[in-house]
Amino acid sequence: QQARTLKISHQFPGGTIDEGDFRDRMVRKFAQEVEKRTNGQLKFEIYPGGSLVKPVEQWGAMANGSLDMSLYPLAYAGGRVPELNIGLMPALVTSYEQGLRWKDAPIGAELTRIVEEKGVKIITWVWQAGGIASRGKPIINPEDVKGLKFRGGSKEMDMLLKAAGASPTNVPSSEIYSAMQSGVLDAALTSSTSLISFRLHEHAKHVTTARDKTFWFMFEPIMMSKASFDKLTPEQQKIVLEVGASLEKFGMESARADDQRLATVYSQAGDVVHDMNEAAFAKWREIARASAWKDFEERIPNGKKLLDMAVSVK
Amino acid sequence: MSVTARFLWRAFSGALARLNLWMGYASGLLVVGSAIVLTGEVLARYFLGSPSDWALELCILMLIASTFLAAAYTLAARAHVNIDIIDAVLPAGLNRWRLLFADLGAAGLCGFVAVNAWRFAALAWSEGWVSNSTWGPKLWIPFGFIALGMTLLTLQYLVQIVDARLASLLTGGRHGRA
Amino acid sequence: MGVLEIGLMYLGAALLLLFSGMPIAFALGGVALAFMFALMPANNLENITETLYSELNNFTLLTIPLFIFMGAAIGKTRAAADLYEAAHRWLYKMPGSLGVANIFGCSVFAAMCGSSPATCAAMGGMGIPEMRKRGYSEELAAGLIAAGGTLGILIPPSLTLIIYGIITEQSIGKLFIAGVVPGILLALVFALWVMFSAVREKAAAQAGRAGSELLRAEFFTWRQRLETLPRLLPFALLIALVMVALYDGWGTPSEVAGVGAAGALALVVVIYGVWRWRDLKEILLGTARESCMIMMIIAMAFLFTYVMSYLHITQSMAQWLVGLGMSKWAYLFWVNVLLLVLGCFLPPVAIILMVTPVIMPGILAAGFDPIWFGIVLTINMEMGLITPPVGLNLFVINGIAPDITFRQIVRGVMPFIVIMGLYIVLLALFPEIVMWLPDQSK
Ligand code: NA
Ligand code: NA
């Protein structure tokens, strides 16, 4: 049996196995462990920072088998497979634990079926929470966003923000920094880790973290092209799946640690740190139901069923 | 070549030249259009506080269309930059062959990309792919512009190969530069 | 076959096609396609269209055609001539004054946009014809605009520094501040070189070709100088509009480029009366040609980069260098050599994405300040924009002034490449040049 080299791509800053963005570290841990357990039969080349395929296009590359693996925000593929927008539906997931329980619930089976039909396999289930950086006033309740130029970063988040009275503003991620600096944006919404690596604390005054509640949970699993997976021996497939599952705890703990680090980094920069409580979350969820969820139900044939399955996860 | 064939060829290359010139105008207008859309967007957001969720994407779409639509016109105007240092080194006879091969290679690439882009555009059409944004434009549109532009470019290469390269090899004269 | 052999073959094949006379864009695309066929699984061919699309599906790239349009529109009117006539009348006693004015024009545009080809396009369309009219050699005129244009990514705002800051987790604000002093100083060094070259060209003209435009004896009274000022007003208004829009937060740098282009259009139509179709169509076609040429190169260069990244060539080169275990200064030296070699073929952002994650740990371990290194890296990337065979600014100039040969342009930028190399050495010897300003704001 000849050794195979698999390519893993992701869009996040690259570092080492011990330091840097946890999403990069997770991929490196995966590679190291699989290489060890297959005695070097499987090797990996890791491409951080979108240095092989651009972020969104990683889906197509995995689906046609030209890219082996990616740690991929699943909702990015929503333009091609609209059901996948459920991976970044506002106020749908309520906690890390509940998100991880999707895996063994009916919603997990359905999601797995949908992506595998398109030629992609989920290897590690990872959820990440996000927060809000703002230059003006703190943003906790829906009424706080009225009239603000707000970058939601995705279609569903923009719908929610618009319904809450904000002006969703489309700014490419490479320009968020300049936009926050010059005031083109009043506030931006993204993952805790990206709020740190985009360095918005240099211009923000307030940050709302996900330490308590948040309406921003994104599904960003480690995924593998089914074509690549099928080429592995049964033994190797087993190792890949086991190592993948074993990393879920690391993913959750690191994501949660970054919610905490977000607070530390921003407060060190002199910003005021806020948290979102249950009552505020309930208000956001009410608006989400009437905007983003409603749109998802109406546009997608089995949208309502998917949402019900997700909500029913305890 | 027979007289009829020659006539048809002239008609074809003439029509292509006119079409490509229009595409050149369209391309320039698309750049102007994106400047106007952007300005409108900036003013609406800054002074009226109402940002749009489609302006940026529309501008990118216009930029992609502008780039590919003008590709054949740019070739006809000899404005696709190349490195011409070898020109002075090789004897004229060799240079004619070199330019023929360069054109054939480039035409091959462009033709391949054109076919690939048409297939991809068709796939995007049949699968209903959209950009995953609030505005959500259909993805066959940009892929279609790539396909159309690369097709025109391939045809323009064909005309250039027949009218300039082959003609100059046959007559031994020099027609145009690379 | 090892990665090293494949890498050498890839770059060799690229050189062969680039020098075959094939347009740059198609030479890059052609090599990529050939290696895809030969060495990569067939399903990669399915990605070609999406690869081209994903590279151009980038809002910040819009600044390039917009600034090309701005340069073409203003270049078509008397505005540019007025501007340079004014600079000439005020500065005519200084040797190379017009060239120096162009370097400073490039610096002003650099402060407005984060992209070097865009800076080059905006200034070149106006500056090069004016300099040639006054007797500057093709080499000097083209070389100084190409080199001056590279300041676009050093003087903030800078796209390159933003990407570097995100990847290496450094303060982008601090990087921007760190770019100010080296950027202005580099512009001054360029200006000195231009003055020196102009004196040399003038001496050569005196020795040989009498009657050169450079030798024309001139004198301008204060009255003649002052009367140029009102005609600069429209231009000053345009610059002021863009600056206000940028720093008052009307929009991001890319959006403001749109405001600038629309403003330029209004300027040439309303004030300079360019509204006849005969004039407008030339502006449109010129914009179409130049932006198509540059954008096609950028798109095809990404295909070239994709294959290079897929075959792991760039990454392996960097890993090999890191593995040699060199001393601090040797490491810095060879990292710069690697960046320079890659810069001959690849665009800056691609290099940063592929190389920085690999080389950065070594840079930090050697005790170099990451902010300082970001500036050194950016200057190295600036060199890449004017090194043949693939240098975006060289192609911008070639598009703007098609009658200047590629060889003349390359000869013109050579001294500037040497200057930037020496400038990196200077920054290594005196890191305070970079760090002084950011250290003040602590
Ligand atoms: Na700049
Ligand atoms: Na170069």
Note whether C255 contacts A: Cβ–Cβ < 8 A.
yes
* Angle (CA) A171 A175 A180, round 5°: 85
Tell me what pLDDT residue C75 has.
77
Residue with tokens 């089995």: A302
Residue with tokens 């970058």: A151
According to DSSP, the residues that pair with A9 across neighbouring strands are: A47, A70
Three-state SS across chain C?
CCHHHHHHHHHHHHHHHHHCCCEHHHHHHHHHHHHHHHHCCHHHHHHHHHHHHHHHCCHHHHHHHHHHHHHHHHHCCHHHHHHHHHHHHHHCCCCCHHHHHHHHHHHHHHCCCCCHHHHHHHHHHHHHHHHHHCCCCHHHHHHHHHHHHHHHHCCCCCHHHHHHHHHHCCCHHHHHHHHHHHHHHHHHHHHHHHHHHHHHHHHHHHHCCCCCHHHCCCCCCHHHHHCCHHHHHHHHHHHHHHHHHHHCCCCCHHHHHHHHHHHHHHHHHHHCCCCCHHHHHHHHHHHHHHHHHHHHHHHHHHHHHHHHHHCCHHHHHHHHHHHCCCCHHHHHHHHHHHHHHHHHHCCHHHHHHHHHHHHHHHHHHCCCCHHHHHHHHHHHHHHHHHCCCCCHHHHHHHHHCCCCCHHHHHHHHHHHHHHHHHHHHHHHHCCHHHHHHHHHCC
Q: Which of A28, A46, A199 to mutate to test the interface with C (most CBs of C within 10 A)?
A: A199
Question: Which ipTM value was assigned to this complex?
Answer: 0.93
List of chains touching B (3+ CB pairs within 8 A): A, C
CB contact under 8 A, C168 and A13: yes
Host H or E run for residue A9: strand A4-9
Amino acid sitting at position C431: P
Which of C58, C247, C356 shows the shortest C-beta gap to A182?
A: C247
List of chains touching C (3+ CB pairs within 8 A): A, B
Token pair of A82, please? 């609209």
pLDDT in tens, B143-164: 999 999 999 999 999 999 998 8
Spatial distance between the Cα atoms of A155 and A220, rounded to a whole number of angstroms: 17
Confidence of residue B176 (pLDDT cuts 50, 70, 90): very low
Tell me what pLDDT residue C211 has.
54
Residue-wise over C119-142: b if at least 16 C-beta within 10 A, else e? bbbbbbbbbbbbbbebbbbbbbbb
Mean of per-residue pLDDT scores for chain C: 88
Q: Which of A6, A62, A66, A170 to mutate to test the interface with C (most CBs of C within 10 A)?
A: A66
Tell me what pLDDT residue C123 has.
85
DSSP A302: T
Peptide bond just before C157 cis, omega within 30 deg: yes
Tell me what pLDDT residue C429 has.
94
pLDDT in tens, C305-339: 999 999 999 888 888 888 888 899 999 999 999 99
Show residues of chain B in contact with A76, CB under 8 Å. Answer: 132
Tell me what pLDDT residue C212 has.
65
Spatial distance between the Cα atoms of A219 and A193, rounded to a whole number of angstroms: 14
DSSP A276: B
Q: Quick one: which ligand is closest to C67's CA?
A: 1
Confidence of residue C274 (pLDDT cuts 50, 70, 90): confident
Token pair of B6, please? 């020659």
Token pair of C116, please? 């070097």
Q: Quick one: which ligand is closest to C351's CA?
A: 2
A166 C-alpha to ligand 1 centroid (Å): 31
A 10 A CB-CB count for A243 gives: 22
Tell me what pLDDT residue C202 has.
84
Handedness of CA A93, A98, A100, A104 (dihedral sign): negative
CB contact under 8 A, A76 and B136: no
CB contact under 8 A, C252 and A182: yes
Q: Which residues contact A141 (CB under 8 A, 6 or more apart)?
A: A280, A283
The mean pLDDT value for C174-187 works out to 92
Nearest to C297 by CA among C125, C64, C40: C64
Note whether A183 contacts C: Cβ–Cβ < 8 A.
yes
CB contact under 8 A, B51 and A56: no
Show residues of chain C in contact with A258, CB under 8 Å. Answer: none
Q: Which residues contact C346 (CB under 8 A, 6 or more apart)?
A: C301, C304, C305, C308, C314, C384, C390
Q: Which residues contact C23 (CB under 8 A, 6 or more apart)?
A: B75, B80, B81, B82, B106
CB contact under 8 A, A49 and C246: no
Confidence of residue C442 (pLDDT cuts 50, 70, 90): low
pLDDT of B86 above 70: yes
pLDDT of B37 above 60: yes
Spatial distance between the Cα atoms of B115 and C48, rounded to a whole number of angstroms: 11
In angstroms, the first-to-last Cα distance of chain B is 26
pLDDT in tens, C355-403: 888 898 889 888 899 999 999 999 999 999 999 988 989 999 988 888 8
Tell me what pLDDT residue B1 has.
60
Confidence of residue C408 (pLDDT cuts 50, 70, 90): very high
Tell me what pLDDT residue C271 has.
85
Show residues of chain C in contact with A47, CB under 8 Å. Answer: 309, 315
pLDDT in tens, C344-355: 998 888 899 888
CB contact under 8 A, A77 and B132: yes
Check residues C79 and C154 and name the one with the higher pLDDT: C154
What is the nearest CA distance from B27 to chain C, expressed in angstroms? 5
> Are β-strands A187-191 and A127-134 bridged in parallel, bridged antiparallel, or unpaired?
antiparallel
The three-state secondary structure class of A84 is helix
C174 C-alpha to ligand 1 centroid (Å): 15
Sheet holding A222-225, edge to edge: A42-47, A4-9, A69-71, A222-225, A120-124
C343 C-alpha to ligand 2 centroid (Å): 5
Closest alpha carbon within chain A to C164: A13
Q: Which residues contact C317 (CB under 8 A, 6 or more apart)?
A: C7, C338, C342
C121 C-alpha to ligand 2 centroid (Å): 17
The mean pLDDT value for C96-107 works out to 88
- Are residues C91 and C222 in contact, defined by beta-carbon separation less than 8 angstroms? no
Report the percentage of chain C scoring pLDDT > 70.
98
Confidence of residue B178 (pLDDT cuts 50, 70, 90): very low
Q: Quick one: which ligand is closest to C383's CA?
A: 2
Note whether A197 contacts B: Cβ–Cβ < 8 A.
no
B154 C-alpha to ligand 2 centroid (Å): 27
A 10 A CB-CB count for B14 gives: 11
The mean pLDDT value for C152-176 works out to 84
- Identity of the highest mean pLDDT range in C163-177, C214-228, C289-303: C289-303
Nearest to A99 by CA among A304, A302, A251: A251
Closest alpha carbon within chain A to B128: A80
Listed as ranges, residues in chain A with pLDDT below 70 are 1
Check residues A41 and C152 and name the one with the higher pLDDT: A41
pLDDT of B175 above 50: no
A25-33 long-range CB contacts below 8 Å, 24 or more apart?
A25/A254, A26/A71, A26/A124, A26/A126, A26/A222, A26/A247, A26/A250, A26/A251, A26/A254, A27/A69, A27/A71, A27/A222, A29/A247, A29/A250, A30/A123, A30/A124, A30/A222, A30/A243, A30/A244, A30/A247, A33/A243, A33/A246
Confidence of residue B177 (pLDDT cuts 50, 70, 90): very low
Q: Quick one: which ligand is closest to C389's CA?
A: 2
Instruction: Work out how many CB contacts closer than 8 A connect B with C.
Output: 218
Residues with a beta carbon under 5 angstroms from ion ligand 2 = C 343-344, 384, 387, 390-391
The mean pLDDT value for C428-434 works out to 93
CB contact under 8 A, A49 and C357: yes
